[in-house]
């Protein structure tokens, strides 16, 4: 794997041991909590981007960044914005 950012989802995380795995299209990649942003713990299915390094023939994720820290809120916001645009368009037709 090259020194470029890959994307995946947190597949599993064990807070007692401080490590987990990120699922990617190329397979699962190990990560340690020390490579994760300090403000929160990893959550299952959370989208992340990261750099992969090889360590004794195994791959490890480093420089992990969250892509969308709150996907449910983002989805809700997008739906609300879409609904507002539809409502505005419909109301503009009545005002003519």
Task: Determine the pLDDT at residue 14.
Answer: 94
In a domain, residue 52? The reply is yes
In a domain, residue 90? The reply is no
Q: How far apart are CA 19 and CA 82, in angstroms?
A: 39
In a domain, residue 74? The reply is no
Domain count of the fold of the chain: 1
pLDDT reading at 95 higher than 70: no
pLDDT reading at 1 higher than 50: no
Task: Determine the pLDDT at residue 19.
Answer: 95
* Concatenated DSSP letters of 23-91: EETTEEEEEEGGGS-TTS---TT-EEEEEEEEETTEEEEEEEEES-S-HHHHHHHHHHHHHHHHHHHHH
Task: Determine the pLDDT at residue 70.
Answer: 66
In a domain, residue 75? The reply is no
In a domain, residue 64? The reply is yes
Residues spanned by the domain of 47: 5-68
Tens of pLDDT along 20-71?
Answer: 999 999 899 999 999 998 878 898 999 999 999 987 888 899 999 998 766 6
In a domain, residue 87? The reply is no
In a domain, residue 42? The reply is yes
Specify the CATH number for the domain of residue 20: 2.40.50.140
Using a cut of 0.75, tell me whether the model's pTM lies above it. no
């Amino acid at each position: 794997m090259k020194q470029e950012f890959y994307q995946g989802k947190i597949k599993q995380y064990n807070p007692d041991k401080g490590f987990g795995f990120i699922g990617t299209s190329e397979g699962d990649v190990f990560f340690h909590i020390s490579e994760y942003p300090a403000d929160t713990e990893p959550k299952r299915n959370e989208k992340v981007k990261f750099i992969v390094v090889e360590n004794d023939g195994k791959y490890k994720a480093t420089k992990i960044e969250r892509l969308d820290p709150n996907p449910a809120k983002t989805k809700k916001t997008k739906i609300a914005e879409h609904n507002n645009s539809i409502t505005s368009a419909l109301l503009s037709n009545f005002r003519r």
